[in-house]
Amino acid sequence: MKFVNTQFFTYAIVAIVVIGILLNRLNSKFFKWVKSYWFFERTWASRISTVLYTISLFLMMIALLDLRGPEKKIKASIPDQRTLILIDSSTSMLAEDVRPNRFVKSLQLARHFVKNSAGHQISIVLFSDIQKRLIPFTDDIDLIDSRLAALEKTNSVAGGSNISQAIEEAIQYFEFDSNEDDKSKSGNMLVFTDAEESEGAFKVNIPANVNFAVVGVGTLKGSNIPLRWEDGSFRGYKTFKGEPVITKLDENYIRKIGSNVKNFKYWIANSYSLPTDEITNFFRAAFNNKQSTGDLRIRPVFSHYILIPAIILYCLSVLIGRFAIFKVNKNLILIFGLLFAINMVEAEDTTPRVQVLTTPEIKKDLEFIQQGKADREYVLKTAEKMLRAKDAKRATELYSEYAKKNDSEEVRFNYATSLLKSNKLKEALPIIQDLMKTSKNDDLKDKLRKNLRTHVKQKNKQEKEKKEEDKNKESKDNKDNKDNKDNKDDKKNKGQGNQKKDDVSKKQEGKDQKKDGKQQEKPQGKQDGQQNKKPDKDNQENADDKKEEKKGKDKVKDKGKEEEGKKEEDKQNSGPSTHEEKEKEIEQKRRMTKTPAMIKQIMSDDRDLQKKMMDTSTNERGEKKPKRDW
């Protein structure tokens, strides 16, 4: 096994070394900074992850050099044969000395060859005055057969026979359709023609790699050329200068055109001959002689043996890197926590509601400052006293007015502490960073870190308390809203109950009054009662009559619908009764048949286009060209 791209070996090694050094420096610098500021040490998982990542990069760079194995011999695959079929479509091919005529017989022979030519890429060319390729090289036998069958139905036979020029031009298709690796003019050429050259023969240069076969269609005796209308009816014979034309098969021309070809053979086809097997055997034998049976030499690629471990190591580095990167040194935290400076003020872990202790000494100092007698150092000392007395707000105000960047580390430390206690972290951070960079006092740095942690804890505690207060307040509000809603519902239910009771009592009173009235009006009651009963009976009778009328109407409607449905069914079954209905029916049918008619129109248009495309005749016949057109 050897690397193919050995010229890049030095570049790969240099790249690997540079990447390794950069990764090592960046990691060591970062983890040292974390350890010095936050006391976190690097874990073994992080170290192993970095090592695996570096090795995976190294292997990937090596894989780019393209590792190959020793040479091996493999057998070459046999390609398909490429066969170009040329069909003569000149007017002389309409002669009927071969049944049904020369052109149709040529198409039958070509279709039979196509169906029996397994392993061939076939292209179809039609020629008379000029040549046109109908189908490029393809192994789709059904497509080729359908196009050849379509030629029988299209009236595409016309013009003279320019055989030699058609062959010369068609040879170029072998080179035109070749692969980029193989641009040689090689393949099979099969020509169906009556060999009656009308344009004056010239020497055809057929390459040695082309196997040339000609099928002469016609008879040596010859025949007239019948001309027919599109419907197939006879309209006369082809004439030239007032005399009927007799076309004959020219076997000498076939021998002449193939005399300079290395692999050449021809057949004469009559009405019942079918030389398909002989043609396929000729092409197969010539192809087998030319086809190389040698072996190809290859070198197998083994770069995957390097890439697979590289990918596995990279995945492992990612997985291991998911574990903890830092571990906390608890002993260091305990040691630094016990060290306190006497003259330094540290932020305490207390709530923000600190009671300010304003001592008489501080009051005296403030009065002295207000009188304008105090210098800057005196003011800074007073600010320090106020900071110790837990009056961080006023201490911050004094430090912000009198403190400078060039002050001692102790003053700047106190200023930063007062800012932290006043919840002004953004203003405190630049001072803390400056002290961390410039100060050589490790105790001072440790106290600054501790003050920062205390401030962060204090802030988190405040946020938690605030969230809890908001939650309690929200739950309390929800509870109050619920209680208010329940009280409203109770009141509403009580009101409805009282209203029902009042209604019941009112109904009872009305019943009692009716009883009293009946007892008082019993003497008159019989006559009045009889008069009142009569209208009630009349009302009931009227209501019953209305119901019966409605039922009758509904029945009439249902009967009408049934009759209409029956009429429609009768119409459908019996057909149109009037001339107008018949016209409407015909219009509907025309709409239904509109789409198929459009398709037929498209198909007829396609046939016209095919005729134009398959037309290989030309009217360009001047003094230089003979006037024969068959």
Of 56-70, 121-135, 473-487, 549-563, give the lowest mean pLDDT range: 549-563
- Rounded distance, CA 579 to CA 541, Å? 55
Q: What's the average model confidence in pLDDT over 144-168?
A: 87
Of 55-59, 130-134, 582-586, give the lowest mean pLDDT range: 582-586
| Contact status, residue 118 vs residue 156, Cβ threshold 8 Å | no
Q: What is the mean pLDDT of the chain?
A: 77
C-alpha distance from residue 528 to each of 515, 532, 558 (Å): 16, 6, 47
pLDDT-derived band at 105, boundaries 50, 70, 90: very high
Q: What is the pLDDT, as a whole number, of residue 137? A: 93
- Rounded distance, CA 529 to CA 536, Å? 11
Q: What is the pLDDT, as a whole number, of residue 401? A: 77
| Phi, psi values for residue 217, rounded to 5° | -110, 115
Q: What is the pLDDT, as a whole number, of residue 427? A: 81
Q: What's the average model confidence in pLDDT over 524-535?
A: 44
Task: Give whichever of 81-95, 185-199, 319-333 has the largest mean pLDDT.
Answer: 81-95
The yes-or-no verdict on residue 503 having pLDDT over 50 is: yes
- Rounded distance, CA 196 to CA 159, Å? 12
Of 151-165, 322-336, 488-502, give the lowest mean pLDDT range: 488-502
Closest of 286, 237, 307 to residue 57, by C-alpha: 307
The yes-or-no verdict on residue 106 having pLDDT over 70 is: yes
pLDDT-derived band at 430, boundaries 50, 70, 90: confident
Over residues 65-88, the pLDDT tens digits come to 888 888 777 665 667 789 999 999
Architecture of the structural domain at 342-461: Alpha Horseshoe (1.25)
Closest of 412, 379, 411 to residue 394, by C-alpha: 379
The yes-or-no verdict on residue 27 having pLDDT over 60 is: yes
Burial class (CB within 10 angstroms; exposed 0-12, middle 13-18, buried 19+) of 373: exposed
Instruction: Pinpoint the residues of the chain covered by CATH 3.40.50.410.
Output: 81-291
pLDDT-derived band at 343, boundaries 50, 70, 90: very low
Tokens representing 188?
A: 């099979």
* More confident site: 541 or 203: 203
Of 384-398, 473-487, 523-537, give the lowest mean pLDDT range: 523-537
The yes-or-no verdict on residue 53 having pLDDT over 90 is: yes
Task: Give whichever of 258-262, 473-477, 547-551 has the largest mean pLDDT.
Answer: 258-262
Q: What is the pLDDT, as a whole number, of residue 154? A: 76
Instruction: Pinpoint the residues of the chain covered by CATH 1.25.40.
Output: 342-461
Over residues 345-380, the pLDDT tens digits come to 444 444 444 455 567 877 777 777 777 777 878 878
Over residues 444-473, the pLDDT tens digits come to 888 888 888 888 888 888 888 888 888 888
- Rounded distance, CA 490 to CA 498, Å? 12
Burial class (CB within 10 angstroms; exposed 0-12, middle 13-18, buried 19+) of 452: middle
* More confident site: 572 or 412: 412
Q: How does 31-42 read in b/e, with b if 16+ C-beta sit within 10 Å?
A: beeeeeeebbeb
Pairing of strands 234-237, 239-240: unpaired
The yes-or-no verdict on residue 188 having pLDDT over 90 is: yes
- Rounded distance, CA 616 to CA 170, Å? 14
Tokens representing 183?
A: 């641009």
Of 72-76, 429-433, 471-475, 595-599, give the lowest mean pLDDT range: 595-599
Closest of 441, 391, 393, 394 to residue 413, by C-alpha: 441
Q: What is the pLDDT, as a whole number, of residue 507? A: 54
Pairing of strands 326-328, 210-217: unpaired
The yes-or-no verdict on residue 533 having pLDDT over 50 is: no
Q: What is the pLDDT, as a whole number, of residue 265? A: 94
| Contact status, residue 105 vs residue 148, Cβ threshold 8 Å | no
The pTM for the full model equals: 0.43
Q: What is the pLDDT, as a whole number, of residue 136? A: 92
DSSP 287-301: HHHHS--PEEEE--B
Q: What is the pLDDT, as a whole number, of residue 403? A: 82
Q: What is the pLDDT, as a whole number, of residue 275? A: 92
Burial class (CB within 10 angstroms; exposed 0-12, middle 13-18, buried 19+) of 426: exposed
Q: What is the pLDDT, as a whole number, of residue 496? A: 55
pLDDT-derived band at 190, boundaries 50, 70, 90: very high
CATH superfamily of 81-291: von Willebrand factor, type A domain (3.40.50.410)
